[in-house]
């Protein structure tokens, strides 16, 4: 080996993960539209739903009692949705830049690549969601951080789900090229009606409730309502969510590796087009 190259560990390398995070950080900082976009949609969301919450809380005794349920749901949904987008968009940046071949030929391992995408999803999420929570506080008097410690559990469960969906969607794009890009933008919306973000699970038909309970976010949104309406922290729901997330995460990673192998068999790693 050349003497200018340091010895590289056989396992995970923080050095390489750090290099990839730096790559996405450079990209983010080089483009103000990218930064603006991170804040723009969450801000619009919170304003729209905040006013709706204000309106219906005046008209409905239930919503007056369950103050912030809608706004809380909007913020948690954004963590789920933007967490996945933050992951997947960083991945898509490589496809758009036709840089994937360079990365795949470097010593960067798939797991290191995925870990760097996860770190970037948290950074992108923080840029978008922190201003959103501050707007909720100043404009609508809803202090998201007053949820306290349960907020950390909600966040962890939602971000794990978002990464699982992100890993799966990225694998599909890797295998099928940019023709499959729309999956990245729309896949999480398939979860939306069943995760019962804005309404309790009992609203669904009984057979659909079984399906809803297979999704980790359903437990988080039920847990949020229990906390905001009944002031009870449902640890059982969070444990279920975490367990399902572990299964989902392992499955999505295995599927990603299988799709990567399939892309290598298919020869689509170097093309990456439609």
Question: Which residues contact another protein by CB under 8 A?
Answer: 1-2, 4-8, 10, 13, 15-16, 18-20, 22-23, 26-27, 30-31, 93, 97-109, 261, 264-267, 269-271
We find the least distance from the C-beta atom of residue 80 to another protein, in angstroms, to be 28
- CA 25/CA 31 separation, integer angstroms: 10
**What's the Cα-to-Cα distance from 20 to each of 213, 251, 258, rounded to whole Å?**
36, 24, 23
Judged by CB, which is closer to another protein: 48, or 102?
Answer: 102
For the CB of residue 29, give the shortest distance to another protein in the complex, in Å: 10
User: Smaller CB distance to another protein: residue 103 or 187?
Assistant: 103
**d(C-alpha 122, C-alpha 144), whole Å:** 18
Tell me whether residue 104 or residue 242 sits nearer to another protein (CB atom): 104
CB of 172 to another protein, least distance (A): 19
Task: Tell me if residue 67 falls in helix, strand or coil.
Answer: coil
- How near is the Cβ of 271 to another protein at its closest, in Å? 7
| Of residues 197 and 259, the one with the C-beta less far from another protein | 259
Q: How far apart are CA 90 and CA 35, in angstroms?
A: 13
3 state DSSP class of 7:
coil
Pick the closer one to another protein by CB: 99 or 186: 99
| Environment class of 232 (CB within 10 Å of its CB; exposed 0-12, middle 13-18, buried 19+) | exposed
Q: How far apart are CA 133 and CA 25, in angstroms?
A: 23
Cβ–Cβ contacts within 10 Å for residue 197, how many? 20
CB of 17 to another protein, least distance (A): 10
**Cβ nearer to another protein, comparing 104 with 180:** 104
Q: Measured between alpha carbons, how far is 218 from 216 in angstroms, rounded to an integer?
A: 5
**Minimum Å distance from CB 10 to another protein?**
8
């Amino acid at each position: 080996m050349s003497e200018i190259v340091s010895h590289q560990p056989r396992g995970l390398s923080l050095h390489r993960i750090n290099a990839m995070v730096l790559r996405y950080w450079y990209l983010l900082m080089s483009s103000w539209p990218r930064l603006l976009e991170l804040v723009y949609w969450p801000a619009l969301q919170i304003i729209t739903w905040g006013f709706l919450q204000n309106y219906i809380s005046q008209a409905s005794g239930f919503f007056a009692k369950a103050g912030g349920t809608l706004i809380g749901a909007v913020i948690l949904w954004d963590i789920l949705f933007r967490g996945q987008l933050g992951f997947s968009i960083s991945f898509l940046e490589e496809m758009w830049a036709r840089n994937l071949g360079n990365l795949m030929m470097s010593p960067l391992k798939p797991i290191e690549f995925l870990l760097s995408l996860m770190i970037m999803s948290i950074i992108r999420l923080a840029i978008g969601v922190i201003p959103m929570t501050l707007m909720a506080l100043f404009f609508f008097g809803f202090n998201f951080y007053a949820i306290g410690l349960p907020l950390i559990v909600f966040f962890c469960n939602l971000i794990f789900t978002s990464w699982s969906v992100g890993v799966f969607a990225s694998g599909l794009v890797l295998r099928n090229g940019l023709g499959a890009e729309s999956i990245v933008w729309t896949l999480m919306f398939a979860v939306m009606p069943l995760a019962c973000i804005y309404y309790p699970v009992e609203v669904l038909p009984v057979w659909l409730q079984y399906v809803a309970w297979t999704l980790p976010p359903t437990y988080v949104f039920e847990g949020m309502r229990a906390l905001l309406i009944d002031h009870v922290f449902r640890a059982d729901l969070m444990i279920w969510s975490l367990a399902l997330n572990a299964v989902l995460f392992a499955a999505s990673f295995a599927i990603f590796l299988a799709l990567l192998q399939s892309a290598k068999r298919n020869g689509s790693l170097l093309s990456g087009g439609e």
